Amino acid sequence: MFCYQCEQTAGGTGCTVGGVCGKNPDIQSLQDILLFGLKGIAAYAYHARELGARNEEVDAFMHEALFKTVTNVSFDIDQYIAEVLKCGEMNLKIMETLDKAHTDRFGNPIPTEVDTGTRKGPGIIVTGHDLLDLYELLKQTEGTGVNVYTHSEMLPAHAYPGLKKFKHLVGNYGGAWQEQKKEFSQFGGAILATTNCVLIPPQNTYLDRLFTVGITGVPGSQHIEKRDFSALIKRAKSLPPLSEATGKKIMTGFHHTAVLGIADKIIGLVKSGKIKHFFLIGGCDGAKPGRNYYTELAERVPKDSVILTLACGKYRFNKLDFGAIDGIPRLIDIGQCNNAYSAIQIAVALAGAFKCSVNELPLSMVLSWFEQKAVAILLTLLSLGVKGIRVGPTPPAFITPNVFKVLQDKFDLKLITTPEKDLADILKK
């Protein structure tokens, strides 16, 4: 067997441990989970650091945990399980650091209605997750006549006072990342990619309008240094103006500070039986089949339920009309994936109000995973002892059946089945 860690044949001449690591797929699996979780933490730590915030404890953990993935460093499965849970704990800390950095810089989000159409005139669409890039672009485009649109995970930006104050931040265009080739072709303006999830190869229909900044890079596109967006603005002005198109209005910005501001009302509705259940349906979207599950689930949840959502998985259903329960919207968009921190604050506050644990709340979490940040968030929820989470649409290939079984036994982690079956199971409790 080939050991991909030391890149030798396990037990071969270069192997110092008789092939133990190469023959232990569970250790490899746990090391992979750790690596994926660390990548997620790194993304949040990067954003926080760009905003001038860092967390020494998280930095130290990253060194320790990365070291823990070195070949032949430990063969103790329990130690690795503890380490992946610690990874979740550290991810919570870095999401908190990032949340504070965002709110210190841009203020606490205010629930905001966002237009999904286009305005007449030149435009730039911004994809990715980096609010600081967007802020700098908004400053540099102010008064130029260029409108700025958010794409996908940038949607929650519209709710931050420090960003929404810019009148030329006019709307959110398109859906989740996997649609971007089609959407960027259709969007006539210039495009700025700030982070993942940017797709390659870009189509020729928009390559000459595509710019990257910071961590991103796409061959053939222009990379912007030091957030000097003048070339991007010039390009936007050189393109034919976008036409006026009416779009549906969607809501975003239900940061925990906003939700906790109406907590008394929500608690009253739960006590009076008008709200019977909360669903957290969110996570990363993806292109593979099976993700209609999340749309169908959101459509099928009983009318006396409230859906909390976050990350780009919400584009599966956030343009549907869910209505409201006595003025409380039935679909509450908490924000980007890093705003899982807010979702946790909301759950903890509800548990406090009802004097129970998060696991005893009428709250069910059904998550979609795709990339590394979603793995880090799942580890966070597990590290908090949250049980009964459903994940899908498929099990991560790097989790071996043994490791999945440990997670099932310890945390009642489940894979999604069908919306009908899962709903019946959730609601019978």
Residues of this chain that bind ligand SF4 (CB under 6 A): 152-153, 176-177, 196-197, 284-285, 311-312, 337, 370-371, 373
CA nearest 317: which of 341, 338, 329, 333?
333
Least Cβ distance, residue 276 to ligand SF4 (angstroms): 29
CB closer to ligand SF4 out of 137 and 312: 312
Cα–Cα distance, 35 to 260 (Å, whole number): 34
CB closer to ligand SF4 out of 32 and 371: 371
- Quickly list H helices, 145-291: 161-164, 180-186, 204-207, 230-238, 256-261, 263-271
Q: Which residue has the tokens 């320790």?
A: 64
Kind of pairing, strands 210-213 and 390-392?
unpaired
CB closer to ligand SF4 out of 58 and 374: 374
Q: Which residue has the tokens 């954003």?
A: 47
Least Cβ distance, residue 283 to ligand SF4 (angstroms): 7
CB closer to ligand SF4 out of 176 and 343: 176
DSSP-derived letter for residue 249 is E
Least Cβ distance, residue 336 to ligand SF4 (angstroms): 7
CB closer to ligand SF4 out of 80 and 293: 293
CB closer to ligand SF4 out of 132 and 197: 197
Cα–Cα distance, 395 to 392 (Å, whole number): 6
Least Cβ distance, residue 311 to ligand SF4 (angstroms): 4
Cα Rg of the chain, angstroms: 22
Least Cβ distance, residue 312 to ligand SF4 (angstroms): 3
Contact, 164 vs 134, CB < 8 A? no
CB closer to ligand SF4 out of 118 and 336: 336
**Per-residue tokens: 284:** 């990363």
Least Cβ distance, residue 40 to ligand SF4 (angstroms): 9
Task: State phi, psi for 154 to the nearest 5 degrees.
Answer: -80, -5
74, β-bridge pairs: none
Distances in Å between the alpha carbon of 92 and those of 225, 310, 379? 31, 16, 9
Least Cβ distance, residue 339 to ligand SF4 (angstroms): 10
